C-alpha cells in the first residue's frame, strides 16, 4: 500500500511538473512555465502558440533556445532573464529558419547576444524568408491588424555563430552540454533538435508534434519523405530523454516522438 501511495504521489508530482501550465504571465501573449530549477518553457501566442526554452546553465550563464516571434516579446523575456536569473552572459540557439525559431534575432544581436545556428538556416533565410513572411501575413485575420503590422515590418537576422548543418555542434555552457543535432530533413530542411544531456531534456522543436496534434500542421517547407526517417534517428539516438518539448503545444516524454511517427505514417 505504502509503495502504491509513493508511486502515485511521484506520478502526480511528475505530471504536475510537466503540466504546470503558465506559472508566470508576462503579458497577454507571453507565458513562462518553470519545469525545474534549470529549465523554463516560454510560450508565445502571436497569434499561434509557440514554445521556446530558457535554460539556466549556471549561476552566470543562460541559454535561450529559439525566440518569441517578435522583438518586443524577446525584449520582455531578456528583461525577465536579467531581473530574475541575473546572468553575466546570455547565448542563443536557433533550430530553424521559420519566424517561430528566430523572430527575436534582431533584438538579440542588438544586445550583443551570440546566436548559434546552421549554415543551412542562413541560406534558407535568404532563399525563403520573404516568402514565409508573406504566407504568415496571409493567414492573419482582419481583426489581427496589430500583429499583421509587426509581421509586415519584420526583418530577418541570421545567427552570427554558424556551423555546418551536417556537423551540428556541441556547446559546453556552464554546467551543461547542449548537443545541437541535425537528424535529416523534416518539418523544414534545416530543423535541428537540442539535447541537454544533464537534464535528459530533448528540445524537439518543430519536427516533434504534441500529443494533441491530429495532423502535421504547416508542411509547406517540409520534406515528407525524409521526416519519418529523421524522427526514427531521433527516437533511437535520444531514447533516454525524459522530457520532450515540441515547438507547439504541450510537452511530455518520448511518446511525442512516436506520436509524430504515427502521424507521418498515417499521412
Ligand atoms: Zn514551428
Find the 249 Cα to ligand 1 centroid distance in Å.
10
Using an 8 Å Cβ cutoff, are 68 and 30 in contact?
yes
47 prior amide bond cis, ω within 30: yes
Find the 59 Cα to ligand 1 centroid distance in Å.
30
The grid coordinates listed for 135 are 504566407
Q: What share of the chain in percent tops pLDDT 90?
A: 90
The grid coordinates listed for 44 are 508565445
Find the 101 Cα to ligand 1 centroid distance in Å.
7
Is a pLDDT exceeding 60 seen at residue 20?
no
pLDDT for res 7: 46
User: Integer distance in angstroms from the first to the last C-alpha of the chain?
Assistant: 45
Rounded (5°) CA angle 239-245-248: 135
Find the 98 Cα to ligand 1 centroid distance in Å.
7
Three-state DSSP state, 220: coil
The pairing of beta strand 243-246 with beta strand 201-205: parallel
Find the 3 Cα to ligand 1 centroid distance in Å.
41
> In terms of C-beta density within 10 A (0-12 exposed, 13-18 middle, 19 or more buried), how is residue 210 classed?
buried
pLDDT for res 125: 97
Going by C-beta distance under 8 Å and a sequence separation of 6 or more, which residues neighbour residue 201? 39, 195, 241, 242, 243, 244, 245
What's the mean pLDDT in 14-29? 67
For the stretch 40-84, pLDDT in tens is: 999 999 999 999 999 999 999 999 999 999 999 999 999 999 999
The pairing of beta strand 24-25 with beta strand 193-196: unpaired
Find the 76 Cα to ligand 1 centroid distance in Å.
21
For the stretch 251-266, pLDDT in tens is: 999 999 999 999 999 9
The ranges assigned to domains in the chain are: 21-265
Calpha distance 202→190 (Å, rounded):
17
Rounded (5°) CA angle 60-61-65: 160
Find the 223 Cα to ligand 1 centroid distance in Å.
14
Calpha distance 176→82 (Å, rounded):
20
Find the 188 Cα to ligand 1 centroid distance in Å.
9
Helices (H) then strands (E): counts for the chain: 8, 13
pLDDT for res 263: 97
What is the largest distance, in Å, between two alpha-carbon atoms of the chain? 62
Q: Say which residue the cell 501575413 belongs to.
A: 137
Q: Is pTM beyond 0.85 here? A: yes
Q: What is the CATH number of domain 21-265?
A: 3.60.15.10
For the stretch 151-180, pLDDT in tens is: 999 999 999 999 999 999 999 999 999 999
- Choose between 23 and 136: higher pLDDT: 136
Amino acid at each position: 500500500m505504502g509503495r502504491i501511495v509513493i508511486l502515485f504521489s511521484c506520478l502526480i508530482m511528475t505530471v504536475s511538473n510537466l503540466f504546470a501550465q503558465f506559472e508566470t504571465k508576462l503579458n497577454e501573449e507571453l507565458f513562462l512555465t518553470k519545469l525545474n530549477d534549470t529549465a523554463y518553457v516560454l510560450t508565445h501566442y502571436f497569434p499561434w502558440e509557440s514554445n521556446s526554452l530558457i535554460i539556466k546553465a549556471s549561476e552566470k550563464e543562460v541559454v535561450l533556445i529559439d525566440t518569441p516571434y517578435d522583438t518586443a516579446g524577446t525584449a520582455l523575456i531578456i528583461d525577465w532573464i536579467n531581473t530574475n536569473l541575473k546572468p553575466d552572459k546570455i547565448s542563443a540557439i536557433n533550430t530553424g529558419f521559420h519566424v517561430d525559431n528566430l523572430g527575436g534575432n534582431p533584438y538579440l544581436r542588438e544586445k550583443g547576444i551570440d546566436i548559434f545556428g546552421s549554415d543551412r538556416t542562413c541560406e534558407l533565410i535568404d532563399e525563403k524568408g520573404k516568402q514565409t513572411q508573406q504566407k504568415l501575413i496571409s493567414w492573419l485575420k482582419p481583426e489581427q491588424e496589430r500583429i499583421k503590422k509587426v509581421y509586415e515590418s519584420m526583418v530577418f537576422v541570421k545567427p552570427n555563430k554558424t556551423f555546418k548543418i551536417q556537423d551540428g555542434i556541441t556547446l559546453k555552457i556552464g554546467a551543461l552540454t547542449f548537443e545541437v543535432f541535425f537528424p535529416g530533413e523534416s518539418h523544414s530542411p534545416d530543423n535541428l533538435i537540442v539535447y541537454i544531456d544533464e537534464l535528459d531534456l530533448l528540445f524537439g522543436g518543430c519536427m516533434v508534434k504534441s500529443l494533441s496534434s491530429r495532423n502535421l500542421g504547416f508542411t509547406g517547407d517540409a520534406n515528407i519523405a525524409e521526416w519519418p526517417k529523421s524522427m526514427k534517428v531521433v527516437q533511437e539516438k535520444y531514447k533516454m530523454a525524459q522530457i520532450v518539448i515540441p515547438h507547439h503545444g504541450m510537452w511530455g516524454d518520448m511518446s511525442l516522438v512516436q506520436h509524430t511517427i504515427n502521424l507521418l505514417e498515417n499521412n
